[in-house]
Structure 1
Amino acid sequence: MSRLYASLFYQKQVTEIFSDRSLLIYMTVVEVALAKAQASVGVIPQEAAQSIETICTAQIVEQLDMEALVMASEQAGNIAIAFVKQLTAIVKASDEKASRYVHWGATSQDILDTACILQCRDALDIIEAQLGNVHQTVLAQAQTHRNLIMIGRTWLQQALPITFGHKLARWASVCKRDLARIGQMKPRVLSVQLGGAVGSLASLGNHGSAVVSAFSRQLNLTAPVCTWHGERDRIVEMASVLALIVGNLGKMARDWSLMMQTEIGELQEPAGNGRGGSSTMPHKRNPVAAASVLAAASRVPVLMASLYQGMVQEHERSLGGWQAEWLSLPEIFQLCSGALERTLNVLDGMRVSPEMMQRNLECTHGLVMAEAVMMALAPKLGRLNAHHLVEDACKRAIKEQRHLKALIGEIEEVRQQFTATQLDDIFRPASYIGNIQEQIDAVLRQAVGAAD
């Protein structure tokens, strides 16, 4: 992606993890770990592994001919073949004997898959930390605004009163679930790949399993029970969890952008010099962070489709399905991290308007309290009779442009059941928010591990 657009949608650290230079560094780390693992079980000489480790530092990337790698990769079908040739040549220039053991017994996919897993692990650490920050921030906001009454909306229409804290608590709850998903999947998906040409590690004789175990310890990754060249569920599971996170962030962004509409005005994204402006309309305050998050939520499902399609692979190693991951997976990580960064910015600095929330509660002249009136009358008149009575009053309120409470107060059946003071209480939005406060308390307890 161009740098101009990357600044809108990505996050710098995760973008760097998936850069060309970083990929080559990760591949170098994998080759060194492979040599050390093989030396530890006697497959290659210790001296060779030590020499490979000494020569193959992160700085070795500066010695690689990037243009030659690009040209050779086009012919070879992947970057690893050209990379190993150059890496071997660099080692050979310093230690000809050690160069014989570079990439011993591995296949290109082993190196690329394991390097990819290392990239994913480091990117997941960043994303997990970002998500944790979003979680803590929205929890604090839920506590702050737990008593701030606003209108709840269904089908984009005013429905019943809620509190802004309850909306925020729901966002916090989904963040907690996403954090749990990341933690649960890590041991399962962060696994080395080492199988050789067809997954049998025949080139390592009877040392294959021992090398895999040592290799995983070198990289602090899980050792798989068997190779997974053609089974891509680990990659897809990681991406799927990220897609869930992005989708959940998209829901939040949709909410806050709707609350920012001029006619609603309940929220504003943080202010900043030039932020949210229009090239022609000086008065505009556009939801620019929401636009970025929603764009990510629109893009990621498309990228996920290619990963799901790529799971249907042929035999021991595939043609095309694996390669499609190289394009989709990095972008999913970058979009997820970028969306988290922008969501945190909004949650941390959003401007809340209690006045507009109150205005919007009152704009229907009491109609949003119709259910509360019906439920108060139902035990006395029967639910169906109460429903008809209140429904008729609502129709009259709309037609006559009067407040529903005034019309309800004129109905003889109601006056026989409720005093004016009791009717005032029924029409008080804060009296009809159900168990919202208990739900908020449960979310806050769950955040500190006091509840499942």
Structure 2
Amino acid sequence: MGAHLSDSVIYGHLWSTPEIHRLFDDEGRIQAWLDILAALALAQSEVGLVPADAAKVIAEHSRVELLDLREVAAATRSTGHSTLGLIRCLRDVLPESGREWVYYGATVQDLSDTWTSLMMQKVAAIVDRDLERLVVATATLARTHRNTVMCGRTHGQPGLPITFGFKAAVWASELARHRMRLAQSRRRVEVVQLGGALGTMEFWGERSESLLVALAERLGLGVPDIAWITARDRVAEFLGVLAMATSTLAKIGQEVYTLQRPEIGELREPSEPGQVGSITMPHKRNPELSEHLVTLAKVVRSNAALAQEGMVHEHERDGRAWKTEWLVVPEACLLTGVSLALACRLLEGLEVDAQRMRANVEACDGYLGSESAMQALSERIGKHTAHEVLYETAAAGRQRGSGLRAALLADRRVTGRLSVEEIDRCLEPTAALRASGVFVDRVLSALDSVPGPERSPR
């Protein structure tokens, strides 16, 4: 049981996934820290700083099951230090040959920042995997509904006909760009931290550079050009990418949420047997997945903003900045993970009502064809004059309660330039869809031709 919702037995599924939660719970965090300490000892042994037998003993005993985490917690509180409690408890279980060599010359941020890099590496692989799945889902929707006509809406009002495939292609293209951003950022983000007291690595002397390389290689991380104790742009960049990705999912969720409204009725998110929308209104089928995507993205964006605040750092170490990351990085990763999982459920099971989409277009009584009619008339009388005529004609038709066809046929400024056949062609919904399919095809072609980014760049 835990105070944070991600730890809740009852509500945890809404705020985390087991896969990512295991990375950030106490056992996962401490084991990762122990792995780093083991790698540090072995790397120091490799460059001649630590005896080989001591490094081996440290590596063999760096297992979370050998520690009592309650004792670690008590020692952490009593020392008032972030990692000294862990080190004392680890030394207690180490043979004497390893006790003086564990955590040799390293400091808190060497351990915690390297852990942050490892977590960003692991989470990035999960995020990329699920983004790829979402790109496939949205591309499938775009391909399937390339010619499914629907109302395109601006400012919440019907504007022109588009296809649902066009809308889904926009989603697919945006999600694919997040994969690119993630891949491009990983070389900058996934780097080891090893600097000692102030980042200068003075403790290890002339073996500092070789130690840095050896540790990075053992952990599968990159080597920074200089310690990043005070340079928090890497963390801010990573959370920024998470914020952008979850914001796209929130946009998609918001669209499904709105188009599921019965008065529109064009989309429905999947619903499982036994799922209850309301305890007082049994008929309801609520867009639970869609609205939760919006909620999750709000919190991830706030976490990203706090990571930006961490870039404002004082001198050579500032706990006010990087300790904030201990809170916001895990939460942003947890919420991003569940956001991706929910979005996969939503988009892979999305119900598209093509008939209702067509019916909503026809319910607009031809007015979605106003641009096509204006374009045709522009060739005869000029674009701006044509706009004035169509504006006045449409306003008059709405005032009379007639459709746009009747309004156009009643206006001599129109019938004197366009035949009935030309007017009818303009008002056919597919007249405004000439380019929609072209752009859907462009997106699908681009997605097919670009290979997926590297999963674990170095």
Interval of TM-score (by shorter of Structure 1 and Structure 2):
over 0.9
1:20 aligns with 2:26: yes
Deviation at 1:73, TM superposition (A): 2.3
Cα distance in structure 1, aligned partners of 2:450 and 2:319: 49
Give structure 2 stretches of 5+ with no counterpart.
453-458
Any residues of structure 2 matched to 1:201-350 within 5 Å, and which? 201-275=201-275, 277-350=277-350
Aligned to 1:180: 180
Distance 1:378 1:353, change over 3 A: same
Q: Number of aligned pairs?
A: 446
> Offset at 1:55?
2.4
Map residues 368-379 of structure 1 onto 2, 5 A cutoff: 368-379=368-379
Q: Which residue does 1:391 correspond to in 2? A: 391
Is the 2:389–2:413 Cα contact (8 Å) retained in structure 1? no
1:8 to 9, 14, 27: 14
Kindly indicate whether the alpha-carbon contact (under 8 Å) linking 1:9 and 1:293 is maintained by their aligned counterparts in 2.
Answer: no
CA contact (8 A) 2:120 2:189 kept: no
Q: CA deviation at 1:415?
A: 2.9
Rounded Cα–Cα distance in structure 1 between residues aligned with 2:260 and 2:80 = 49
What secondary structure sits across from 1:320 in the alignment? Answer: helix
Alpha-carbon distance between aligned partners in 1 of 2:222 and 2:262, rounded to the nearest angstrom: 52
- Distance change (3 Å), C-alpha of 1:77 and 1:423: farther
CA contact (8 A) 1:11 1:334 kept: yes
CA RMSD in angstroms, aligned pairs only = 1.7
Whole-Å Cα distance in 2 between the matches of residues 228 and 387 of structure 1?
Answer: 59
Q: Percent identity?
A: 31
1:84 matched residue in structure 2: 87
The CA deviation at 1:72 is: 2.7
Provide Cα deviations, 1:206-238, integer angstroms capped at 9, x if missing partner.
Answer: 111110000000011001111111111111111
CA distance in 1, matches of 2:447, 2:118: 29
The 2-side partners of 1:23 and 1:120 are apart by 13
- The alignment partner of 2:313 has SS state of coil
* Alignment deviations for residues 10-37 of structure 1 (CA, whole Å, 9 cap, x no partner): 2221111111110001001100110111
Q: Displacement of 1:450 after TM fit?
A: 5.7
What TM-score do you get using the length of structure 2 for normalisation?
0.94
Q: Is the 8 A contact 1:276 1:287 kept in 2?
A: no
Distance 2:152 2:403 in 1: 20
Deviations 1:279-320 (A, max 9, x none): 111111111001211001211222222221122122111121
Rounded to whole Å, the distance in 1 between the matches of 2:411 and 2:288 is 50
Aligned to 1:448, the other structure's residue is in SS state helix
Q: Secondary structure at the match of 1:374?
A: helix
Are the counterparts in 1 of residues 53 and 97 from structure 2 also a CA contact under 8 Å? no
Contact 1:106 1:197 in 2 (8 A): yes
Do the aligned partners of 1:293 and 1:342 also contact (CA within 8 Å) in 2? yes
Alpha-carbon distance in 2 for matches of 1:427, 1:168: 24
Aligned to 1:360: 360
CA distance in 1 between partners of 2:382 and 2:324 (Å) = 62
**Bigger CA drift: 13-22 or 163-172?**
13-22
Q: Give 2:456's aligned residue.
A: none
User: Residues 372, 127 of structure 1: CA spacing in aligned structure 2 closer, same or farther, 3 A cutoff?
Assistant: same
Tell whether the 8 Å contact from 1:275 to 1:288 is kept in structure 2 after alignment: no
Contact 2:377 2:418 in 1 (8 A): no
* Cα pair distance change 1:411/1:330, threshold 3 Å: same
Q: Give yes or no for contact 1:91–1:99 (8 Å, CA) kept in 2.
A: yes
Which residue number in structure 1 is paired with residue 455 of structure 2? none
What is the aligned partner in structure 2 of residue 137 from structure 1?
137
Query: Any conservation in 1 of the 2:277–2:286 contact (CA below 8 Å)?
Result: yes
**Matching residue of 1:127:** 127
Instruction: Tell me: CA distance 1:387–1:247, structure 2 relative to 1, closer, same or farther (3 Å).
Output: same
Paired residue for 2:52? 46
Partner Cα distance (1:208, 1:303) in 2: 34
Residue type of the alignment partner of 2:36: V
Deviations 1:162-200 (A, max 9, x none): 110010000000111000011111111101111111112
2:412 is matched with 412
What is the alpha-carbon distance in structure 2 between the residues aligned to residue 413 and residue 80 of structure 1?
82
TM-score with structure 1 setting the length: 0.95
Q: CA deviation at 1:347?
A: 0.7
Distance 1:383 1:204 in 2: 75
Distance 2:292 2:412 in 1: 55
- Pair 1:247–1:354, CA change in 2 (3 A): same
Code of the residue aligned with 2:84 in structure 1: it is: I
Post-superposition offset of 1:451: 11
Contact 1:307–1:325 (8 Å) recurs in 2: yes
**Structure 2 CA distance for aligned equivalents of residues 369 and 356 of structure 1:** 18
> 2: distance between equivalents of 1:231 and 1:209?
19
Amino acid at match of 2:386: A
Q: Which moved more, 1:176-185 or 1:421-430?
A: 421-430
Is contact 1:16-1:22 (8 Å) kept? yes
For residues 385 and 201 of structure 1, the distance between their equivalents in structure 2, rounded to whole angstroms, comes to 74
Matches of 2:384 and 2:243, distance apart in 1:
45
